Amino acid sequence: MSRRRRKVLPKEPVRCVIETLSHDGRGIARNDGKTQFVDGALPGETVMAKVVSTRSKFDELRTLEVLEASSERQETPCEFADLCGGCSLQHMSGDAQIRFKEDTLRQHFAHFGGIEPEEWVAPMRSEASLGYRRKARLGVRFVKARESVLVGFREKRNSFLTDIDRCVVMDPRIGERILPLRELLHSMDAFDRIPQVEVACGDDLAAMVFRNMDELSPGDREKLIAFGQAHDLHIYLQPKGPDTVHRIWPESAGRDDERLSYRLDEFDLTMQFHPMDFTQVNAGINRSMVRRAVEWLDVQPGERVLDLFCGLGNFTLPLARRGGQVVGVEGDEAMVVRGRENAERNGLDNVAFHGADLHGDFTGQSWAKEGFDKILIDPPRSGAEEICKYLTAFGAGRIVYVSCNPATLARDAGVMVRNGYRLVRAGVMDMFPHTTHVESIALFERTDR
């Protein structure tokens, strides 16, 4: 039985002249007709790089030394940026990052949809490029050879955890506590049986959810509680699936008590959420995004508005504040409940939430039969190709599409245009500074208006 022999990688660094950037933020160079993807390199630069992987058509490399630097290069604000996979563009200036994201969206519109918006709007910039990230899933691993516990994100392009003791892009309530968290986990009896920690921050409170593979000893529970007390953090355990998550500090008064919150002051709203709920990671961009979506839809009294993939009501309730009747639809029943809770707490009675399978034709649902004047859609990364085929049935004059994936937005935009809508305007939002994530927003209007 033959075994495939692993290719021997060159030991000497390779000189690379970077021509452009890939969509995942790596520099692209050519060598004897072969493509080179180079981590940590920018267009126009000449770098010395180490080959970390080789294939028949391309090589993957990591920058070791910059011989000729781009004017767009900056000092990384994080000492772990070269290795940690949590960020990939810290070496690129903020302005260059925005241009990269705009170019990515333009290219996807051209490639997938063959269209371009009538107007490109100015990019939505983050209030702060550091300390912004309020949600994350941190990996935990005990490294026997080092007799230590690592906590953080995976290294770039492999499964190892990066050895970090802080994270400058995360909310400081979490990012500045990585080292104490590592020390806590190393001191516990279950030091090698907690594979991850989910973190979530609201405006006033922050929480950690520990995934415990086994029942914790009384001593371990006491240590977690003491950690929460010392660092002003709510502490949760997750012994099995998401339904088993429960708070151990402060002592829970019931499921309805296990909430964080954030404010949307412009709409006089307080939005409550469970630490495991989906919420936007960047509070500043979220406020600006909600404002823009509401302005673009321009809801008038008496109009019916549909919010698809509504979650806990992040767009639904602000739209309801502007008048009309708003229907929020979500595939996750727990989030439907959360939306109803938030509507009640904020005294809104012109909004209704419904659960539905958003992967098929739902135009026959009772809440859909009256049609809608305006629609907002905020789908997952996979987009909403099937849904876009049905939207014309509602007769909406305007549709705002919020996207976390430029490829599926462009694809779906093509569907919308073929079904009677024109792409009026679009632009990017810097929800994840220092990463290649491209968040965007687009406005469509019916062509017969």
Residues annotated as binding site for [4Fe-4S] cluster?
78, 84, 87, 167
Annotated binding site for S-adenosyl-L-methionine: 280, 309, 314, 330, 357, 378
CA distance 415 to 442: 14
Task: Give yes or no: 404 in active site.
Answer: yes
> Of the candidates 113, 94, 182, 86, which has an alpha carbon nearest to the alpha carbon of residue 143?
182
Which two tokens mark 18? 């970077």
List the catalytic residue out of 16, 201, 310, 404.
404
Alpha-carbon distance of 320 to 325, in angstroms, equals 7
Calpha distance 360→358 (Å, rounded) = 6
Instruction: For residues 396 and 305, give the distance between their C-alpha atoms in angstroms, rounded to a whole number.
Output: 9
Distance CA 422, CA 366 (A): 28
Annotated binding site: 78, 84, 87, 167, 280, 309, 314, 330, 357, 378
User: Please, what is the angle between helix 218-231 and helix 178-187, to 10°?
Assistant: 160
| CB-neighbour burial class of residue 46 (10 A; exposed 0-12, middle 13-18, buried 19+) | middle
The conformation of residue 177, written as its DSSP 8-state character, comes to T
Under a CB-based contact definition with an 8 Å cutoff, are residues 247 and 260 in contact?
A: no
List residues bridging with 66 in a β-sheet.
47
Q: For 315-348, b where at least 16 C-beta lie within 10 A, e where not — what string?
A: bbbbbbbbebbbbbbbebeebbebbbbbbeebeb
Mapped onto helix, strand or coil, the DSSP state of residue 87 is coil
- Two tokens, residue 71: 């004017």
Angle between helices 94-108 and 406-418 (to 10 degrees): 40
Query: Are residues 292 and 441 in contact, defined by beta-carbon separation less than 8 angstroms?
Result: yes
Find how far residue 126's CA is from the centre of its chain. Answer: 14
Q: Are 152 and 84 in contact (CB under 8 A)?
A: yes
Active site residues: 404
